[in-house]
Structure 1
Amino acid sequence: MTVYDELVARGLIAQVTDEDEIKELVNNGKAVFYIGFDPTADSLHVGHFMALCLMKRLQMAGNKPIALIGGGTAMIGDPSGRTDMRQMMTKETINHNVECFKKQMSRFIDFSDGKAMLVNNADWLLDLNYVELLREVGACFSVNNMLRAECYKQRMEKGLSFLEFNYMIMQSYDFYELYQKYGCNMQFGGNDQWSNMLGGTELIRRKLGPDADAYAMTITLLLNSEGKKMGKTQSGAVWLDPNKTSPFDFYQYWRNVADADVMKCIRMLTFLPLEEIDAMDSWEGSKLNEAKEILAFELTKLVHGEEEAQKAQEAARALFSNGGDSANMPTCEVSEEDLRDGAVDILALLVKSGLAGTRSEARRNVTQGGVTLDGEKVTDFKASYTLDDFSGEGKVLKRGKKKFIKIVTK
């Protein structure tokens, strides 16, 4: 099976500009491709996961990835998939986020010996002269065509700022710049980026002539069976930074995916052989739980390493299967500072541990019978405990079937 055929078999490809040419480049290790990541936070998240895995797959096949961090485009903000304008960030915040992205990407991409590149579009976008840009690039874009783009259409009702309207031009200019500087012949991105990517291929052809070969391919968005983007929880995004989403919580996110989504996620995100995955397609019932464990372990290993994946799996089994090592459970420390009149109540414990967002939410959890402490249901929302109650190995506080944490003392 060729590299391109495997991408198709895994369900990763959404749209391509010229399939035959893209096959030729990808299958023969001739693709110099880029994917852009705007540093809108100080960590990558599950929404970036598909792109990072694709970069890794193609690099393993001999192709050269360019990871473009949008230090310049982040000054504008991508309107794609948005119903409102993104919050403006300072240069200092953007630069901090750029450094965080660089560190995380190295877990997926080998940047040694010229095998890959990492560039920041701030290096060329921030020095552009506005009038020169209008003359050189603006004349290549039709406003009528831009307004038909999906990324703009969904914003027209609530209002699209002129700032955001420029985003397509900036992204297209990135491709033009990378094509000239580094011989970048392909751009990959999420399916919601199609219009912006076509803008880049068209700009290259109009500026450099019809023989300038530049191609685009979009990656299937990671959606669940309900058509919603995966990677979100009630408490927010699932981050790749262990300080924002612990390896255990990352593991649990994938362990708890819906039955209808598990095989799709294994196929699209893991590096398990397709033959092995095909054999799992017929799994049902308890075997699906085994498939979820495989998915969670493989993805946690990719992001956090095998040791952390093993710890997360052991911790989950300790709670849900009455086996494994409870020492690896996530913990929450309580101290004298948390006490009121020598004790801490159950609502404070739920909020401090992150199992509930507010005391009122915690109270609902208790009164609805969804809270246990060391296996015993807590029915009184006024229940309180001393530090001695959590001495030694601590006690496991659980909310619902799948949310838990061990309460320990300092």
Structure 2
Amino acid sequence: MELFQELQWRGLIDNVTSPEVEDVINNQKITFYIGTDPTADSLHIGHYSSLLMAKRLEKHGHHPIMLVGGATGFIGDPKATGERQMLTKETLEHNFNCLHDQIKKIWGFEMVNNLDWTKNMSVIDFLRDYGKLFNVTYMLNKETVKKRLETGISYTEFSYMILQSLDFLHLYQEKNCVMQIGGQDQWGNITSGLELIRKKCGANTKCYGLTMPLITKADGSKFGKSESGTVWLDAEKTSPYELYQFLFNTEDAKVVEYLKKLTFLSVEEIQKLDKATQEEPHKRMAQRALAEEVVRDLHGQEGLDSALSITNALFRGNLNDLSEQQRRDAMKNMEKVDCENGLILEDVLVKCSIASSKREAREWINGNSISINGEKIKDTHFVVDKENAYVDNYVIVRRGKKRYYCLNLQ
């Protein structure tokens, strides 16, 4: 299977600007770029597929350039739902530096910043040299702009299309970059860049665009910074354990899609895991493979080992086997409950809605079903206070084999 066909099989091709893209990817060695704006200080799981796409092409001999938009970040790519909040110069600079370091550390790609070739451009030069080449009717017909016409769109965001088009032109002229790759929501920006290149460099200039389907959850919503429960690629924001648990809990209906898009597992390996999901879904072999591959790729074997240590400790109830940092990571996914300091265990279980009544609380305690910080407690009058703290003022209650509660003693 050639590379382009494998990308199709993995569901990574949404649209291409020319049938020639297939031959270019399979048989040539080109420079291409993928861009992101520094609207946060870390990439998230929604970006991960694009970064792996760059890696897949690099393995085939193509040269990736990662563009972090220090200039376009000031403007804001138009959203279908409304205007973006403007970020300060200090915030954008901080975010840019964080993204630059993150991408270099994990993937080692060549990095560029579009602020470098736009910061000294005058408004007159921008309008004469580039604005004159964009027809407003053409711009209004772009999908995202269309969606905003009823609610309104600022000139600032309307001009984003022109500003991003300059990126493609600049990289083509300076680095012989002939392809831009982006999410399917970037189709309008990519085709605008191609139009600008042809108008400035000649109608027969060979440049291309490729879009990828957005990674979505089972309910169809996309992963992004504006969505709740963002899964970050930065270990300080989303720990390897949290990432592992997020991926391990992937629905059966989505796990094979994620294996195709988010891992380098071979066609044969994924087909085998697909079969296992259909025949023995309770074993969650595909979910385990997905979680291990992604965590190892992002955080190394050490990060995966830590995630597995926490997972195993929680499964067995051996909480005291964990380091302090692992304890903090383990607590992040637990249900948090504020609790009065110094109550007896029987009252704690009722007041924190762990048990529905004192009778039920006593039954669980006497039945050896309640643990405090990994230790079985059989005394209904055991005092839960800050001296029992697992980390800081937190006490971990385990009910049965799977339910954990993190009590914040007040």
* TM-score over 0.5 (shorter chain): yes
Query: Matched residues in 1 for 2:163 and 2:269: separation?
Result: 43
Query: Matched residues in 1 for 2:52 and 2:33: separation?
Result: 13
Query: Matched residues in 2 for 1:325 and 1:216: separation?
Result: 53
The correspondence of residues 82-101 of structure 1 with structure 2, limited to 5 A, is: 82-101=80-99
- Residues 368 and 95 from structure 1, CA distance in 2 versus in 1: closer, same or farther, beyond 3 angstroms? farther
The amino acid that maps onto 1:18 is S
1:41 and 2:35 aligned: no
Aligned-pair identity (%): 39
Could you report, residue by residue, the CA deviation over 1:378-406 in whole angstroms, capped at 9, with x for unpaired residues? 9xxxx9831222369x9544699988587
Of residues 144-153 and 33-42 in structure 1, the stretch that sits farther from structure 2 once superposed is: 144-153
1:61 and 2:60 aligned: yes
- 8 Å CA contact retained: 1:67, 1:118: yes
Query: Matched residues in 2 for 1:364 and 1:395: separation?
Result: 12
Larger radius of gyration: 2
The correspondence of residues 246-325 of structure 1 with structure 2, limited to 5 A, is: 246-282=239-275, 283-284=277-278, 285-286=280-281, 289-320=284-315
CA drift of 1:313 comes to: 2.2
* TM-score calculated relative to the size of structure 1: 0.81
2:117 corresponds, among 124, 127, 130, to 124
SS of residue in 1 equivalent to 2:137: helix
The amino acid that maps onto 1:303 is L
1:376 and 2:374 aligned: no
- Residues 188 and 234 from structure 1, CA distance in 2 versus in 1: closer, same or farther, beyond 3 angstroms? closer
- 8 Å CA contact retained: 2:184, 2:214: yes
Cα RMSD (Å) = 3.7
- Residues 119 and 202 from structure 1, CA distance in 2 versus in 1: closer, same or farther, beyond 3 angstroms? same
CA drift of 1:340 comes to: 9.7
CA drift of 1:271 comes to: 0.5
* TM-score calculated relative to the size of structure 2: 0.81
Partner residue, 2:133:
140
CA drift of 1:29 comes to: 4.8
CA drift of 1:171 comes to: 0.8
The amino acid that maps onto 2:68 is I
SS of residue in 2 equivalent to 1:275: helix
Unpaired segments ≥5 residues, structure 1 = 112-116, 334-338, 350-362
The amino acid that maps onto 1:17 is T
CA drift of 1:319 comes to: 2.5
Could you report, residue by residue, the CA deviation over 1:124-170 in whole angstroms, capped at 9, with x for unpaired residues? 12221111211111122121121111111222222111110001001
Could you report, residue by residue, the CA deviation over 1:242-291 in whole angstroms, capped at 9, with x for unpaired residues? 11111111111111111111111001110111111012222234456121
Partner residue, 2:158:
165
- Residues 253 and 400 from structure 1, CA distance in 2 versus in 1: closer, same or farther, beyond 3 angstroms? farther
SS of residue in 2 equivalent to 1:278: helix
Partner residue, 1:149:
142
Partner residue, 1:209:
202
Could you report, residue by residue, the CA deviation over 1:2-44 in whole angstroms, capped at 9, with x for unpaired residues? 111111111101000113x222322235121001110001111
SS of residue in 1 equivalent to 2:83: coil
Of residues 148-157 and 212-221 in structure 1, the stretch that sits farther from structure 2 once superposed is: 148-157
- 8 Å CA contact retained: 1:70, 1:122: yes
Of residues 49-58 and 317-326 in structure 1, the stretch that sits farther from structure 2 once superposed is: 317-326
SS of residue in 1 equivalent to 2:150: coil
Could you report, residue by residue, the CA deviation over 1:73-102 in whole angstroms, capped at 9, with x for unpaired residues? 00000113x412111112221111111111
1:174 and 2:167 aligned: yes
Partner residue, 2:17:
17
Partner residue, 1:358:
none
- 8 Å CA contact retained: 1:79, 1:164: yes
Query: Matched residues in 2 for 1:239 and 1:391: separation?
Result: 26
SS of residue in 2 equivalent to 1:85: coil
- 8 Å CA contact retained: 1:107, 1:303: no
Could you report, residue by residue, the CA deviation over 1:309-352 in whole angstroms, capped at 9, with x for unpaired residues? 1221232233246789952452569xxxxx99864999xx9xxx
- 8 Å CA contact retained: 2:197, 2:205: yes
Partner residue, 1:3:
3
Partner residue, 1:357:
none
- 8 Å CA contact retained: 2:339, 2:352: no
Unpaired segments ≥5 residues, structure 2 = 333-337, 373-381
Partner residue, 1:239:
232
- 8 Å CA contact retained: 1:33, 1:65: yes
